[in-house]
Structure 1
Amino acid sequence: MPQIRILTESDLRKVIDLDMDAITCIEDAFVALATKDVCMPPIACLDIPANNGEIDVKTAYVPGLDGVAVKISSGFFDNPKLGLPSVAGMMNVFSSKTGILEAVLLDNGYLTDIRTAAAGGVAAHHLARKDAKTVAIYGAGVQARLQLKALTLVRDITSATIWARDIAKAETCAKKASIELGIPVRATNDGKEAASNADIIVTTTPTRDPILMADWVNPGTHVTAMGADMEHKNEIDPALIGQADLYVSDSQAQTSILGELHHAINAGTVAKDATFPELGQIIAKSMTGRTSADQITVCDLTGTGVQDTAIATLAQSRCAAAGAGVEITS
């Protein structure tokens, strides 16, 4: 009878973290999306506006990986008012050879947090200036700290600013990040000021109205937008997409529907039939990335099923090697 490994968030935290291995894992996933016969269906999105929430399903088959992950994740953004986390979820891993369920990862969104932050690190590694040292993070949640941590793994970051509308939340996040990373991190609720001296800007919020305006972004800046993963979300002024020297998506099929590109098309700043390089193509060198230090680059990350299959397969293999979790017979 098939054996299924049941893994909790605690099990997973013991074997996988946001490190260079995780960044390499996600980098390889982007390359696979650009170069292999990946099967990745559209995201299934269930919007629950009455409770400021959403439930998403993502999956992908990646040739060469033994597993196929089907992720069910939720984001209910008023949950912190109830003393609950805003993100939850799980991943089921099936054998790509037999279709048998092999593992249930009860990660509560932990692996999504890791792979999302790793994707931000990959984007900055390939698109930010080599000498980038200063960062502005928009948002003050868990992902804000993780995105900053990922940047310190790919660039010599010397200081950072955390922006949030609630200055108290920004200050709490900045203090935690500074202690964890050993660099000065300050807080602000002035979005324009946050961007003024940033070599890299990362937006990490579920906002429906832009929080980063086009005229705030200086030449040479790299911007990663990772919060707009549903049609109604919009973190970046659509004008910035049109003005950027280089716009890059994780998947244009997704960003034209769900991401910042979607809003730029609707605003008329980008033609509906325009085509842009994807991050995997730039990593694989089939498309050109940043070519000069004064370019403004924008990477639009909506989250792809290949990332989920990649991180889940890595986590499952590490847990199996460590004997983590509980095996049951189905």
Structure 2
Amino acid sequence: MARLLCQSQIEKMITMHDVVEIIDKTYKGMGEGTVINPTKGTLDLGESSPYPPYHADINSMPAYVGWVDTAGIKWAGGWMDNPKQGLPYVSAIIVLVNPRNGVFTGVLDGTLITNMRTGAQTAVALKYLYPGQRSLTVGLFGAGVQGRTQIAAISEVFNIDELKIYDVMPEAAKLFAKEMANKVAGKITICTQPQEAAQGNAVITVTHAKDGFFKKSWFEPGTVLFPMGSYKECDDEALLAADFIVVDHVAQCFHRGALKDLAEAGKVSQENITATLGELAVGARHISTSSSSRILCVPIGTGAMDVAVASVVLQKAEKEGVGETFDFAI
């Protein structure tokens, strides 16, 4: 029997604190070799081609996560036209199975989990890159849902001494600052020019940009840059200015996101990757964060994170009797 869980039920079963811990454990599993995570498969629904005309793509993201002994897959996509229709940009579902026998154990909404674990990825990466540090400053591009989860997650690990926020829609930035004030220990500055937000220990871009708006001159020494969007937020020269490159999944980072164009042009390869987040998590590799170094961190997102979070949610739901059950084998 599979348990079915909707978004509102999941929201009551998990906190951002929980998700940060789950992501940390799962990165350690990746470093230990107890996570199996193939690269994403992408179905293009007009995101980068004229047909079909839906301005969307969908990713299939399978994984097995050893520490929860669960296999599963997330089927998730982004529809550029959805916000105009009052619909969320991201739509996702997660299916879990018992790895011993293939019995379906859960079908969960994946949208909330996607947004939460994306923020948690950044927070956990910063924990590895700034070990022992308790506070930091943040520059953020994008005042949407994932901008919110970025700050919510980081605030679980660090005190945010200052946040600089920029959005192409000033009203969105103002609302963001109001809603996220309780997550930021220090001052929130709404930037009127994009380069003003490119300052902080961590600079994060969570946008739909495809024009490489983030310039090399904005990538200051002493910064960890997180280009979290699926497309092209950073100019190639900005990315090439990095002293160290950290990724979550080496193969995957070359066919989607910030490094895709550079990889296709032969300007970045596996030899340029300093470490994976899994290697940092288990201490297999180390990076010395300093005021003179530029670190590029690209956690493009893996199915393992979704499967791990969904598995923990499912365990809680089973204990509390939340959700409906359904037998697909009938």
TM > 0.5 fold call:
yes
**1:99-118 deviation per Cα after TM superposition (whole angstroms, max 9, x unaligned):** 100111134x0011111111
Q: 1:234 — aligned with what?
A: 232
Which residue identity does 1:187 align to in structure 2? I
Q: 2:170 — aligned with what?
A: 167
In structure 2, C-alpha distance between the alignment counterparts of 1:181 and 1:193, rounded to whole Å: 18
Q: Secondary structure at the match of 2:221?
A: coil
Percent identity over paired residues:
28
Equivalences for residues 119-198 of structure 1 within 5 A: 119-128=121-130, 130=133, 132-179=135-182, 181=184, 183-195=186-198, 197-198=199-200
Provide the TM-score with structure 1 as the length reference: 0.90
2:292 to 291, 294, 319: 294
8 Å CA contact 2:148–2:180 kept in 1: the answer is yes
Aligned residues between the structures: 321
CA shift, 1:183, in A, is 4.7
Q: 1:23 — aligned with what?
A: 20
Q: Secondary structure at the match of 1:321?
A: helix
Which residue identity does 2:326 align to in structure 1? I
Equivalences for residues 204-223 of structure 1 within 5 A: 204-223=206-225
**1:272-303 deviation per Cα after TM superposition (whole angstroms, max 9, x unaligned):** 75343111101111111234343221110111
8 Å CA contact 2:247–2:273 kept in 1: the answer is no
CA shift, 1:329, in A, is 3.5
**1:169-217 deviation per Cα after TM superposition (whole angstroms, max 9, x unaligned):** 222222211255565323224111111x322111111221213212112
Provide the TM-score with structure 2 as the length reference: 0.90
Once the two structures are overlaid, the 10-residue window that deviates more, 164-173 or 140-149, is: 164-173
In structure 2, C-alpha distance between the alignment counterparts of 1:63 and 1:135, rounded to whole Å: 33
Equivalences for residues 1-150 of structure 1 within 5 A: 3-19=1-17, 21-49=18-46, 50-107=53-110, 109-128=111-130, 130=133, 132-150=135-153
Which residue identity does 1:12 align to in structure 2? I
Q: Secondary structure at the match of 2:279?
A: helix
8 Å CA contact 2:159–2:185 kept in 1: the answer is no
> Which stretches in structure 2 are left out of the alignment for 5+ residues?
47-52
Equivalences for residues 233-272 of structure 1 within 5 A: 233-266=231-264, 269-270=267-268
Q: 1:280 — aligned with what?
A: 278
> Which stretches in structure 1 are left out of the alignment for 5+ residues?
none
Q: 1:199 — aligned with what?
A: 201
In structure 2, C-alpha distance between the alignment counterparts of 1:133 and 1:182, rounded to whole Å: 10
In structure 1, C-alpha distance between the alignment counterparts of 2:94 and 2:263, rounded to whole Å: 33
8 Å CA contact 2:248–2:278 kept in 1: the answer is yes
Once the two structures are overlaid, the 10-residue window that deviates more, 181-190 or 89-98, is: 181-190
In structure 2, C-alpha distance between the alignment counterparts of 1:285 and 1:297, rounded to whole Å: 18
Q: 2:50 — aligned with what?
A: none
CA shift, 1:227, in A, is 1.2
